[in-house]
Amino acid sequence: MSSAQNVTDTVQDGAWKRQGNRFTDRISRESTSAPGEGPDENGRWPVEPGRYRLVVSLACPWAHRSVIVRRLLGLEDAISLAVVDPVRDERGWRFTLDPDGTDPVLGIKFLSEAYLATDPQYEGRVTVPAIVDTVSGLVVTNDYPQITLDLSTEWVDFHADGAPELIPTDREEMDRLIEEVYTDVNNGVYRCGFARGQEAYEAAYDALFARLDVLEERLADREYLLGDTLREVDIRLFTTLVRFDAVYHGHFKCNRNKLTELPNLWAYARRLYQLPHFGETVDFDQIKRHYYVTHTDINPNGIVPKGPNPEVWLSAAG
């Protein structure tokens, strides 16, 4: 297995920093491994339908991306799906939504079991999404930014007819947008919510809303971020926007504006929500229970807000 720096989330000068991804192997058409074998010398596992299991939480925006992309590309039969309980305790992500609290394919009760089978010395936070090899029980990857890209580029032989091309031929503009959206928005809301100092919080807050203002202006004359075609970057922004008013506005103190008060972004988010495989993969109950119950340092009483009303997502989007 290839490795990345094994770290946990850190705080320096009040600023929160996300841990790195420990497992960064890839499933690739260029793998020299035979079916059923492990990774080749370059950490590339063979593309093999029916072999791998994608483990997600419906509450997690990083995992939600992979759920949407998997369905958009028609890979449901090629890659199976496991859904963990949205409430994560000190033992990590649990398969308590399954009978007997055990994943029926992997035969484990906690995702941490697969992590420790792969790296017995692992001490970082167990994260989703993760792709687990059902043959060996080992984690192939928890590299969430790469997972969805590889679903588009490495699994093309198993895409459904008419599957969208989520990655443009010329990726330069999209990759730049992906980086900006990740830094200031996707990860920015966490940098606000988990900051441990006023100055660090305000810096993350200012960067978040400065980027949202840029995106609001960008969407004034286009349907999607790159024009009239749905791309990977839209999915990455959507999974943060759909959680914004329900969680990040209050729970993470991202309260300059609600999403509903940013007209272009709000219309854009509703258009995406109403597309196939977007809104139907959103579970507001699991989203709210995860954040408000799991983050006891932020919400010690564990009270889950009753609102906002999810029906507003079905209103006309323009």
Query: E strands of the chain, at which residues?
Result: 10-12, 15-17, 26-28, 44-46, 52-56, 80-83, 130-133, 139-141
How far apart CA 100 and CA 164 sit, in angstroms, is 38
Of 190, 205, 248, 268, which one is the catalytic site residue?
A: 190
129 preceded by a cis bond (ω within 30 of 0): yes
Contact 102, 77 (CB under 8 A): no
Residues 6+ apart with CB under 8 A from 123: 6, 8
311: Cα separation from own chain's centroid: 23
Q: Angle at the Cα of 160 (from 157 to 162), degrees rounded to 5? A: 115
Start-to-end CA span in the chain (Å): 48
The DSSP annotation for 75-108 comes to: -TTTSEEEE--S--BTTB-B-TTSGGGS-TTT--
Active site residue 192: no
Q: Which of 52, 60, 144, 268 is catalytic?
A: 60
Structure tokens that stand for 135 in this block: 């043959």
Task: Answer yes or no: are the C-beta atoms of 24 and 4 closer than 8 Å.
Answer: yes
Tell me which H or E stretch contains 285.
helix 284-294
Say whether 60 is catalytic.
yes
Q: Cite the active site residues.
A: 60, 190
